[in-house]
Amino acid sequence: MNNVNDKVEGASRFWDKDYVLGIDIGGTNTEFAVVNRRGDIVKCGSIPTCGHKDFHDYASKLKTAVDDCVAKAGVAGHVRGIGVGAPCANQYSGCIEAATDLPWPSPIPLAAVFEQMFSLPVAITNDANAAAAGEMRYGQARELKNFIMVTLGTGVGGGIVCDGHLLSGSQGFAGEIGHVVVKEDSDRLCGCGRYGCLETYCSAKGVMRTARKMLAESDEPSALRDVAPDELTPKVICECANKGDALAKRVFDFTGRVLGEACANFAAITDPDAFMLFGGVSKAGDLIALPMREALEANALHLYRNRIEILFSSLNDAEAALLGASAMAWDIE
């Protein structure tokens, strides 16, 4: 009889707590939200990440703000857990490790501090894995058991879902596709200290590098020549390309081709059904996806040809990081 009671209690506990908290820690701001099962943000808020005395001061201010948010959402006592997305977050140790963007000394024992403070289970992960988790739970990847999330932003990140499972690896560092070396003897130095990483070609900075190089290597007229070198962002290049600027178009041709060649190799490793593009550079849309598809098909082993989709993340940009972080919280055991 005890068993039966336990089960009923367990079930009711489960149904009562149909909300999670997502927290996205960025270099500038920390955003948080109460999220329901469908992935709707019920209530959200933010505090600055910087300007606190130390990490514990930051954490306690965050606690006050989050509690207020939960109360205003009217779901106090109905929150199952907290998912946190942060740069260099290690899901196993629960720590933020060596994050150069954050104002506190590493490692930061984030999960332990938050668990104690909120009396709730906490899952932490890095940004790209959070994006993949968000896509799997709330986005168009709900039906996909095998896909690779490719985040093309300040850096290039990856979240690899294989056989329905988001890969973690030994230390939680699976999916670092931005640091796969894609060009031998490349002159592109990466932030990681090596040369020729995918990130040096397909991140926002990578695209800017390509543009500057193409401008320097020819006298071809281009609207990009009127733009200051450090304002030559993917957005600006994209606008020029969409107005018909041939050189600007070739910047994305090259970027997409490098990405497609790399993805042809990734396909041989986890046999995905789709690559899902996310982040600022992916806003170039077909400018990057078409050459990427061409290079993917031209370079993939026959087993993978003509069956891998290239998709764009369906999650709202502004909400994706928060939703992704929150998605982790549903699976805490």
Residue ranges that bind its own copies, judged by CB under 8 A: 145-146, 158, 160, 162-163, 165, 167-177, 179-181, 183-184, 192-194, 261, 264-266, 268-273, 299, 301-304, 307
Tokens of 270: 């986890």
| Closer residue to its own copies in complex, CB, 104/173 | 173
Tokens of 144: 């996909």
Alpha-carbon dihedral 64, 69, 72, 73, rounded to 10 degrees: -140
- Closest CB 260 distance from its own copies, rounded Å: 12
- Closest CB 273 distance from its own copies, rounded Å: 5
Could you give the 3-state DSSP secondary structure of residue 271? coil
| Closer residue to its own copies in complex, CB, 140/146 | 146
- Closest CB 324 distance from its own copies, rounded Å: 19
Three state DSSP letters for 182-239 = CCCCCCCECCCCCECECHHHHCHHHHHHHHHHHHHHCCCCCHHHHCCHHHCCHHHHHH
| Closer residue to its own copies in complex, CB, 153/172 | 172
| Closer residue to its own copies in complex, CB, 118/304 | 304
CA 245 to chain centre: 30
Contacts within 8 Å (CB) and 24+ apart, 71-78:
72/43, 73/19, 73/34, 73/42, 73/43, 75/19, 75/34, 75/42, 77/16, 78/16, 78/17, 78/18, 78/19
| Closer residue to its own copies in complex, CB, 140/265 | 265
- Closest CB 40 distance from its own copies, rounded Å: 30
- Closest CB 327 distance from its own copies, rounded Å: 18
CA distance 190 to 198: 9
- Closest CB 173 distance from its own copies, rounded Å: 4
| Closer residue to its own copies in complex, CB, 73/177 | 177
CA distance 222 to 216: 12
| Closer residue to its own copies in complex, CB, 176/253 | 176
CA distance 114 to 86: 13
- Closest CB 98 distance from its own copies, rounded Å: 9
Region for residue 62 given its phi and psi (left: phi exceeds 0; alpha: psi -120 to 50; beta: otherwise)? alpha
CA 14 to chain centre: 29
